[in-house]
C-alpha cells in the first residue's frame, strides 16, 4: 500500500475511532444526550484541525472573496429551514422547548463542522496532494469513504437495519455534491451550513419530537426499495450533472 495512503488511513481510523468511542460513552453514560453529542463533535473538529494544520492545509480555510455572500446565503437558508420546521411543529400541535430545539440546532452545526473539516477539507486535500493528483478520483474517494462511515449507524442507531444501505448511498451522493460545491466556492461556511440543514430537516422529528413512532416499527421493504430507487435517480439525474457543472472549470485547469 502507498505510504501516503497508509498515513491517511491511520488518521481517518483514529478520528473515526474517537468518534465511535465518544458515541459509546454518550449512549451508555449520558443516554444519547444532544449536549454531549454537540460537545464531542466540537472536540473532534478541533482534533481534525490539528491534522489540517500539520499538513499545511490551513490556507484552505481562508475566507474567499465571496465569503460574505456565501455566509449570508447560508444563514438565510438555515433560518428558512428553522422557520419551516417551527411552522410544522405548530401545525401538528407538538410542543418543543426552546432549549431542546436550540441544542438540536447546535448539534447539527457541530456535526456539519466536524464532518466537513474531516472529509471535504482534510481528506480531500490529502488525497489530491499526496495520493493522486486527480480531482475526480479524490472527489469519488472521499465521498465513498464519507458514505461508508455511516455504516456505524448499524450499531449506534435504532433505524431499520436495511435502511442503512440507503443512508450510505445518500451520504455518498450528498458527499459528491458538497465536495463539488466546496471545490467551486472554496467556502467552508457554505458546505457546513448545507450539511447542517440536511441533518436538521432529515432528523428533527426523531430528535426533538415526542410521541413519534420508531422507524423500525413502520419501515417496510417497499419503503426501502422506493427510497433506494429515488436516491439512485437523484444521484444520476441531478447530483452528478450538477457536480460536474460545478467542477468542470477546475477539471479543465487540471
Residues 6+ apart with CB under 8 A from 197: 77, 78, 81, 108
pLDDT-derived band at 210, boundaries 50, 70, 90: low
pLDDT > 70 in the chain, percent: 95
Q: What is the mean pLDDT of residues 141-156?
A: 89
- In the block, residue with C-alpha cell 448539534: 107
Return the C-alpha torsion angle 39, 40, 43, 48, nearest 10. Answer: -140
**Which helix (H) or strand (E) covers residue 27, if one does?**
helix 3-29
Range from 11-15, 65-69, 79-83 carrying the lowest mean pLDDT: 65-69
Considering its fold, how many domains does the chain have in total?
1
> How many other C-beta atoms can be found within 10 angstroms of the C-beta atom of residue 159?
17
- Residue 94: domain span: 3-253
CA dist 182 and 44 (Å) reads: 21
CA triple 163-166-170, angle to 5 deg = 145
Contact 159, 167 (CB under 8 A): yes
pLDDT > 90 in the chain, percent: 70
CB half-sphere exposure, 248, CA atoms < 13 A: 7
CA proximity to 112, closest of 161, 182, 165, 65: 182
Residue 6 has pLDDT above 60, yes or no: yes
CA dist 237 and 234 (Å) reads: 5
What per-residue confidence (pLDDT) applies to 98?
A: 87
Amino acid at each position: 500500500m502507498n505510504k501516503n495512503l497508509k498515513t491517511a488511513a491511520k488518521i481517518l481510523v483514529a478520528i473515526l475511532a474517537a468518534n465511535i468511542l465518544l458515541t459509546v460513552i454518550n449512549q451508555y453514560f449520558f443516554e444519547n444526550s444532544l449536549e454531549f453529542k454537540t460537545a464531542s463533535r466540537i472536540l473532534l473538529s478541533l482534533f481534525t484541525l490539528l491534522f489540517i494544520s500539520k499538513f499545511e492545509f490551513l490556507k484552505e480555510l481562508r475566507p474567499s472573496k465571496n465569503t460574505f455572500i456565501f455566509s449570508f446565503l447560508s444563514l438565510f437558508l438555515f433560518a428558512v429551514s428553522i422557520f419551516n420546521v417551527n411552522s410544522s411543529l405548530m401545525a401538528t400541535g407538538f410542543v418543543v422547548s426552546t432549549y431542546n430545539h436550540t441544542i438540536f440546532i447546535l448539534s447539527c452545526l457541530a456535526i456539519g463542522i466536524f464532518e466537513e473539516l474531516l472529509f471535504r477539507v482534510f481528506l480531500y486535500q490529502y488525497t489530491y496532494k499526496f495520493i493522486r493528483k486527480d480531482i475526480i478520483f479524490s472527489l469519488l474517494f472521499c465521498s465513498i469513504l464519507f458514505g461508508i462511515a455511516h455504516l456505524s449507524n448499524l450499531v449506534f442507531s435504532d433505524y431499520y437495519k436495511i435502511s442503512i444501505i440507503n443512508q450510505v448511498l445518500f451520504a455518498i451522493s450528498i458527499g459528491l455534491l458538497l465536495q463539488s460545491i466546496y471545490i467551486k466556492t472554496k467556502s467552508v461556511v457554505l458546505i457546513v451550513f448545507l450539511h447542517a440543514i440536511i441533518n436538521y430537516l432529515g432528523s428533527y422529528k426523531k430528535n426533538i419530537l415526542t410521541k413519534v413512532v420508531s422507524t423500525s416499527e413502520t419501515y417496510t421493504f417497499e419503503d426501502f426499495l422506493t427510497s433506494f430507487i429515488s436516491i439512485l435517480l437523484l444521484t444520476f439525474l441531478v447530483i452528478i450533472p450538477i457536480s460536474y457543472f460545478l467542477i468542470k472549470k477546475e477539471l479543465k485547469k487540471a
